[in-house]
């Protein structure tokens, strides 16, 4: 699936095995047809006057036929449901992987604009709802064919009653569909509020330390971010459920009105046998179940439709496919930013930088400083190519980073932002040199005994914030990239590790020929860098070499 090939329930089921889906449909239809034969078979067993389906010469075998029917219904219905269940769950698993690949291919700005809570709900709740809708398909087919079979039986018994019943079903479906078409707005609103709830749940977990220190803030947070959207979501879902259940029950009751009309009000012809009346009543009662089942399954299909629409919002986003056609020269000497402008706007925040002209020499250690909102992080994300400039170019020497070379350029960089995610796996082939470096820094950062590397996995990443950041830096060093961008890495470190970072790690990186761009507020360590870049209001205010402390 891609952005030009939007998702539908039919396409999702066909994405697995069309032959198996076809077999499931056939089994569902067959199951419904066999269901429809049960009532005539029962009536044949109850009365000697009622004609047997296989002919009166086989009527002594009616009980065998009945139990054979029951067994075949069980076999065909179960087989159909199992087939569709396997197809649906396999297709949804593939869809989840496809969505993950789509998200992975999106630019950072696109991910930020859509929002983490919304995407998490797509990968979790929406997947469950789509699976439920897919599983409803064979049940709708079984119930539909059963109802059609019983209607055919009614037409044989009495065509006038058959036409009357058809009229009742049409009226019932209209009474059901007209109000149900208005439930979408309630279910859609409920689903949107669940994105808000997801964001609240994240705040509840990740903000636990802050919330514990302020009871009033904690109460207000729970009310605004969790309680209010939860109650509002529930209210909207209940409104949708109310309409569907009222409409469904009203439609179902019509069957009983039809029975009453047949028994008490409709005139019967002289040739209408009393036994036929039993058959009509039983057929009408039997139709009630399948129709009620179809109406009940409509809710699952409606939920599935809303979830599919949500996922199609993600597929609608255009994603640039970058090819590694051009490699960045591995011996580059300068990283150049020429006439860079970048701006971003969304419903809740906006920021911009520009015009930026900056040259960073290979092997240079630069500190980027400035107040909150000065553009430090935005500049670093442009340098790291997470944000692509609206104007201007990023160059390695004279080589412009474009769609053909951006993949190669990004592989020259490693970044630890303030909101980094620490993976518990090192995703590269580790050499003896890498293992030695990891062991060295685990001891240096006092992490030995708290975690260790087994294979490519750390035994745990459930560490304190400072320890996690130190472990993230170890992984960065193992990656062995040309450029390191470190966003406030030392902000939450103890003095000994902060000093170790500035006095040992950064000089070590410089000695290895690495370029370091460190966002920092630690002006007392300015002597540890080659240049200080001061940002203000999205522009470079100053760009100077700090005064070095003299040895001794």
Tens digits of per-residue pLDDT, 346-396? 656 678 897 999 999 999 999 999 998 899 999 999 999 999 999 999 999
Whether residue 552 is contained in a domain is answered as no
- Other C-beta atoms lying within 10 Å of the C-beta of residue 551: 4
Pairwise pLDDT comparison (53 vs 470), residue with the higher score: 470
Distance of CA 312 to the CA centre of its chain: 11
Residue 255: predicted pLDDT: 66
Q: Residue 552: what pLDDT?
A: 40
Q: How far is CA 453 from the centre of its chain?
A: 31
User: What is the structure's pLDDT at 270?
Assistant: 47
Which of the listed residues 281, 315, 349 is the one where a domain comes to its end? 315
302 and 367 together in one domain: no
Tell whether 79 is covered by a domain. Answer: yes
Q: Whole domain around residue 368: which residue ranges?
A: 334-544
> Who wins on pLDDT, 249 or 519?
519
- Domain check: are 373 and 419 in the same one? yes
Helices 38-46 and 18-36, axial angle in degrees (round to 10): 20
Q: Is residue 328 part of a domain?
A: no
* Residue 273 and residue 402 in one domain: no
Q: pLDDT for 103-130, tens place per residue?
A: 888 888 888 888 888 888 898 889 888 9
Report pLDDT for 2. 45
Residue 4 belongs to a domain: no
pLDDT for the residue 137: 82
Q: Tell me: do 412 and 486 sit in the same domain.
A: yes
The neighbour count for residue 209, using CB atoms within 10 Å, is: 8
**pLDDT by residue (tens digit) across 292-317?**
777 778 778 888 888 998 899 888 88
Task: Provide, rounded to the nearest whole percent, the portion of the chain with pLDDT above 70.
Answer: 89
Q: Give the pLDDT of residue 158.
A: 74
Residue 362, in any domain of the structure: yes
Supply the CATH number for residue 280's domain.
1.20.1560.10
Number of domains in the chain: 2
One domain for residues 413 and 293:
no
Residues 147 and 210 in one domain: yes
Contact 394, 545 (CB under 8 A): no
pLDDT at 3: 42
pLDDT (0 to 100) of residue 540: 94
Backbone angles phi, psi at 388, to 5 degrees: -95, 125
Distance between CA 321 and CA 402 in Å, rounded?
Answer: 12
- Number of neighbours of residue 21 by Cβ within 10 angstroms: 21
Residue 494 three-state SS: coil
Both 296 and 436 in one domain: the answer is no
Of 253, 280, 315, the residue that ends a domain is 315
Residue 534's beta-bridge partner residues?
369, 542
**C-alpha distances in Å from residue 447, one per residue of 199, 427, 459:** 32, 20, 12
Whether 491 shows a pLDDT value over 90: the answer reads no
Classify 214 as helix, strand or coil.
coil
Q: Is residue 512 part of a domain?
A: yes
Residue 394: the pLDDT is: 96
How high is the pLDDT of residue 1? Answer: 46
Residues 247 and 375 in one domain: no
| Residue 121 tokens, joined | 């709900």
- 427: phi > 0 → left, psi -120 to 50 → alpha, else beta; which? beta
Say if residue 271 is preceded by a cis peptide, omega within 30 of 0.
no
Check whether residue 508 and residue 368 sit in a common domain: yes
- Greater confidence (484 vs 58) lies with 484
Same domain, 380 and 461: yes
Residue 302 Ramachandran class (φ > 0 left, ψ -120 to 50 alpha, else beta): alpha
Mean local confidence (pLDDT), 322-334: 89
Task: Determine which of 37-41, 46-50, 140-144 has the lowest per-residue pLDDT on average.
Answer: 46-50
pLDDT tens for each residue of 54-110: 555 555 667 888 888 889 888 988 888 888 888 888 888 888 888 888 888 888 888
At 4 the pLDDT is 45
Burial category of 407 from C-beta neighbours within 10 Å (exposed 0-12, middle 13-18, buried 19 and up):
middle
> Quick one: pLDDT at residue 41?
78
Q: Is residue 320 in some structural domain?
A: no
Q: Does residue 341 share a domain with residue 288?
A: no
pLDDT grade, residue 48 (50/70/90)?
low
Out of 284, 315, 346, a domain closes at 315
Measured in whole angstroms, how far is the alpha carbon of residue 118 from the centre of its chain?
A: 7
DSSP state of 227: I
pLDDT of residue 273: 55
Q: Which residue has the higher pLDDT, 215 or 2?
A: 215
Q: Identify whether residues 356 and 269 lie together within a single domain.
A: no
Residue 358: predicted pLDDT: 95
Report yes or no on 329 lying in a domain: no
Per cent of the chain over pLDDT 90 is 34
CATH number of the domain enclosing 403:
3.40.50.300
- Output 419-423 pairs: Cβ under 8 A, ≥24 positions apart: 420/469, 420/472, 422/461, 422/468, 422/471, 422/472, 422/475, 423/461, 423/475
Between 552 and 372, where is the model more confident?
372
């Amino acid at each position: 699936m891609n952005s030009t090939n939007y998702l539908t329930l039919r396409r999702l089921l066909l994405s697995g095995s069309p032959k198996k889906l076809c077999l499931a449909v056939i089994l569902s239809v067959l199951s419904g047809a066999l269901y429809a034969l049960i009532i005539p078979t029962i009536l044949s067993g109850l009365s000697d006057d009622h004609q047997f389906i296989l002919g009166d010469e086989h009527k002594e075998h009616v009980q065998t036929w009945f139990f054979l029917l029951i067994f075949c219904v069980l076999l065909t219905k179960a087989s159909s449901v199992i087939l569709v269940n396997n197809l649906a769950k396999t297709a949804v698993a593939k869809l989840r992987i496809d969505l993950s690949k789509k998200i992975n291919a999106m630019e950072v700005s696109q991910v930020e604009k859509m929002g983490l809570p919304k995407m998490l709900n797509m990968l979790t709740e929406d997947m469950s709802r789509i699976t439920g809708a897919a599983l409803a398909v064979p049940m709708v087919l079984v119930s539909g064919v059963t109802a059609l079979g019983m209607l055919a039986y009614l037409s044989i018994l009495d065509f006038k009653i058959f036409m009357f019943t058809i009229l009742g079903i049409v009226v019932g479906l209209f009474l059901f569909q007209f109000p149900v078409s208005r439930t979408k707005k309630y279910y859609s609103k409920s689903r949107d509020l669940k994105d808000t709830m997801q964001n609240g749940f994240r705040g509840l977990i990740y903000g636990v330390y802050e919330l514990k220190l302020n009871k009033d803030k904690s109460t207000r947070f729970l009310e605004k971010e969790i309680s209010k959207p939860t109650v509002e979501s529930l209210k909207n879902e209940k409104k949708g459920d109310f309409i569907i259940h009222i409409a469904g029950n009203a439609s179902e009751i019509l069957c009983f009105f039809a029975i009453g009309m047949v028994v008490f009000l409709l005139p019967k012809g002289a040739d209408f046998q009393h036994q036929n009346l039993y058959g009509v009543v039983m057929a009408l009662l039997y139709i009630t179940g399948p129709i009620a089942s179809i109406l009940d399954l409509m809710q699952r299909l409606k939920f599935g439709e809303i979830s599919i629409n949500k996922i199609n919002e993600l597929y609608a986003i255009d994603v640039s496919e970058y090819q590694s056609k051009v490699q960045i020269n591995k011996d580059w000497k300068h990283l150049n930013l020429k006439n860079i402008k970048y701006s971003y706007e969304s419903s809740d925040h906006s920021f911009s930088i520009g015009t930026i002209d900056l040259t960073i020499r290979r092997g240079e250690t630069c500190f980027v400083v400035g107040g909150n909102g000065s553009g430090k992080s935005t500049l670093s994300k442009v340098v790291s190519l997470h944000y692509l400039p609206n104007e201007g170019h990023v160059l390695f020497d004279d080589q412009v980073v474009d769609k053909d070379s951006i993949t190669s350029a990004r592989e020259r960089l490693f970044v630890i932002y303030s909101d980094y995610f620490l993976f518990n796996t090192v995703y590269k082939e580790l050499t003896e040199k890498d293992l030695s470096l990891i062991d060295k820094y685990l001891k240096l950062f006092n992490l030995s005994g708290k975690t260790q590397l087994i294979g490519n996995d750390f035994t745990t990443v459930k560490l304190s914030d400072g320890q996690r950041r130190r472990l993230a830096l170890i992984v960065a060093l193992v990656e062995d990239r040309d450029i390191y961008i470190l966003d406030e890495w030392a902000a939450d470190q103890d003095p000994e590790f902060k000093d170790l970072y500035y006095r040992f790690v950064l000089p070590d990186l410089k000695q290895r020929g690495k370029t370091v761009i460190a966002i920092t507020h630690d002006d007392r360590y300015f002597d540890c860098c080659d240049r200080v870049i001061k940002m203000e209001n999205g522009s470079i205010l100053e760009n100077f070499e700090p005064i070095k402390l003299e040895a001794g």
